[in-house]
Amino acid sequence: MRLSDQQIAAFHERGVLALPAMFSPDEVDAIVDRLPRLFAERVPSNFREKSSDVVRTAMGLHLRDELFARLVRDPRLVVPAQQLLGDDELYVQQVKVNAKQAFTGEQWQWHYDFATHHHEDGVPDPLALNVHIFLDEVTEFNGPLVFVPGSHLDGPAPTALDIVSTSYPLWTVGPEVVGPLVERGGLDCPKGPAGTVLIFGDSLVHGSPSNMSPWDRRIFSLILNPVSNRQTTFGRPDHQHHRDFSPVVPLDGPFWPVVDAPEPVRRWIAVAPDTPVA
C-alpha cells in the first residue's frame, strides 16, 4: 500500500487522511475477537472509565497478544507512515484500542498528541503519526473523532494538563485557542465502515464527544515515531510510550491468521511488563 502524491499533499495541508476499505471484514473480526480477553485483564495498561468499570483505553497490546504484535507491522499501516515522514526508521511508540462503549463511552477533550509526547516523554518534535483502524462503523452518533483541519500549520498550540475531566490525564487545548482555529479551518469528522484507516499528525487539534448511542465505537491506534525523534525522558510506563526503539519492519504477508509467531513477536510477548492481578 503506497499513497499517491495527491494523498500526501492533502495530508500535509489538512493534517488528516482517511483511507476507506483498507482492512476486510474478516480481518476486523479477527482483531475484535481478541478484545474481550484483553479488556477483562486487570492490568495497569487497561484504563477504565471514570464513571464506570468499562475499558476506555487498552494499551501495550502488541506485548500482550501475538495478533497485535503482527498487526503493528502490517504494511498498510507502516508504509504510508514511512512515506508521509520520508523516513524508513520508525519505532512503535504506542499501541492501543480506544473504546467507547454504547451509552457509557466518555469524551476525549480538545487536544493534540504532541503536547503529551513532549511534556511527558521529552519527544523533541511533532513528527509522530497516529494510524487508526476503525473496528466498528463510525457515525455521527457514536462518539466520532472531530478534527480542526490545518490546525497543525501554526505549530503546537498552548495547552494545560487536565487530570479532572476523565480517567486519563491529558494535555488539552482551551476554547480560546480552538475557537479561532475552527473559524479558519472548520471542522472535519471522518466517518466510515469498519476497516477504514485514518492517519493524522502529532500536532493536529482533535477531540471526540461521548457515545450516547446504542452502538460501540472501537478504534485501533498505532503511533509510529522516527527513531531520530525518540523520547528523551522516561517518567511514564512502557505501555504509554514503548522503549524499544528498533525500527519496525513491515511484514511480507498478511498479519492474520497467526500461524506461528515470528521471533520478534515472541520477544515482545516475553517482555510484556504487565501481568494480571487478582
* CATH number of the domain bearing residue 151: 2.60.120.620
Structural domain includes residue 49: yes
Structural domain includes residue 200: yes
Does an H or E element contain 172, and which? Answer: strand 170-172
pLDDT over 60 (residue 180): yes
Structural domain includes residue 278: no
Where residue 166 falls among pLDDT bands split at 50, 70, 90?
Answer: low
Where residue 260 falls among pLDDT bands split at 50, 70, 90?
Answer: low
pLDDT over 90 (residue 194): yes
User: Alpha helices of 63-148 — where are they, by DSSP H?
Assistant: 66-71, 75-85, 113-121
The domain in which residue 256 lies consists of 5-270
Structural domain includes residue 196: yes
What pLDDT, on a 0 to 100 scale, did the predictor assign at position 226? 98
The predicted-structure confidence for 20-58, as pLDDT tens digits, reads as follows 999 999 999 999 999 999 999 999 999 998 878 899 999
What is the arithmetic mean of pLDDT over 155-168? 80
Structural domain includes residue 276: no
The predicted-structure confidence for 84-142, as pLDDT tens digits, reads as follows 999 999 999 999 999 999 998 888 889 999 999 999 999 999 999 999 999 999 999 99
As a whole number of angstroms, the distance between CA 220 and CA 180 comes to 31
pLDDT over 50 (residue 78): yes
What pLDDT, on a 0 to 100 scale, did the predictor assign at position 275? 37
What pLDDT, on a 0 to 100 scale, did the predictor assign at position 274? 44
Q: How many helices (H) and strands (E) does the chain have?
A: 7, 12
Structural domain includes residue 39: yes
Percentage of the residues of the chain whose pLDDT score is greater than 90: 81
What pLDDT, on a 0 to 100 scale, did the predictor assign at position 161? 86
Number of domains in the chain: 1
Residues 6+ positions from 115 with CB-CB distance below 8 Å: 156, 159, 171, 172, 173
Q: Which pTM value belongs to this model?
A: 0.90
Where residue 230 falls among pLDDT bands split at 50, 70, 90?
Answer: very high
Structural domain includes residue 125: yes
Whole-number CA gyration radius for the chain: 17
As a whole number of angstroms, the distance between CA 53 and CA 43 comes to 13
Contact between residue 73 and residue 252 where contact means Cβ atoms under 8 Å apart: no
Where residue 273 falls among pLDDT bands split at 50, 70, 90?
Answer: very low
Structural domain includes residue 105: yes
